[in-house]
Amino acid sequence: MHVIVHGGAGSAPDEPEPRQAVLNDAAETGAAESSVVDAVEEATRVLESSPRFNAGVGGAVQSDGAIRTDAGLMTDDREAGAACSMPGVEHAVSAARVVMDETPHVLVSGDRAVELAADFGVETGVDLWSEETREKWADLDSTPEGTPREHLDWLTEKFGGSPDDAEGDDSANEDPTDRDPKDHDTVGAVAYDPASDEFAAATSTGGRWLALAGRVGDVPQIGSGFFAAPAGAASATGAGEDIAKTTLTRRAVRHLESGHEAQAAADRAIEEFAELTGSSAGVILLDGGGNAGSAFNSEAMQTAVAGRSPTE
């Protein structure tokens, strides 16, 4: 089993070594599984349980003071499931798998997604606040109240320009003390089993710091946060709205389908993304040769790879 994982594309982390250790553990955990679906789920669960990443425990806080998680999972035979906007669900990837395995649907959201996950044994009601996010929320000089329009007005006033600026990392007017340093620390995993020639991809996130309550980004959208096909599979991270608008993972896998190996496909996808959007993102891929690829145009993106290619 071949597995590659990422811990998000964004600014350079303050403590890269401990984060890398968690990523290495996640990749090894996934590579020890016997199916590609188990591999990406178990690898992602390791990352969701670490407060060093913006997924599961330690997820970003939305404008109403709630942490909501999203995830998506897909296999190369077009089986897919996603779940989003879930309070109290640490392992969003497992909720996404429930949607894929147990329902005729692709995406379930909100409280109903939480209830569905609980019905099939996924733990709910989890306290997703980490010490860091509690301190970050407490340090805000103000928090929005009232209607969604009032939340949007607060975001516009606080961050300047469009309310979307609160969700990015390049607002010129933004107070750096108000931005979560883990804004882009979405996590993901891609697996390839050379014995069965099967692929799977999964991506999980706690969203964006101070996003409008209920905001859902690219992560649970097929072809945006995650995608798998017979040619390979991909997971993305970064500026969520722009990733969704450009369907970044579908774009990356299309380059695999055109005959590029994983690294070249990743490079081309990020180059195109940057040209189209001017935003930052990262993507990881595996191809049918057992090759791993990763590319990003942000300051940093940590990854880990486990498993050996068939020729080794």
Active site residues: 186
**Given phi > 0 = left and psi -120 to 50 = alpha, else beta, which region is 100?**
alpha
Q: Measured between alpha carbons, how far is residue 191 from residues 56, 154, 195, 219, 305 in Å?
A: 21, 42, 12, 17, 10
Are residues 38 and 193 in contact, defined by beta-carbon separation less than 8 angstroms?
no
Dist CA 47 CA 26 (whole Å): 7
Handedness of CA 32, 296, 207, 253 (dihedral sign): negative
Residue bearing tokens 């990854």: 303
Query: What is the C-alpha to C-alpha distance for residues 131 and 136, in angstroms, rounded to an integer?
Result: 9
Please give the radius of gyration of the chain, using alpha carbons only, rounded to the nearest integer: 18
Residues in CB range of 145: below 8 A, 6 or more apart: none
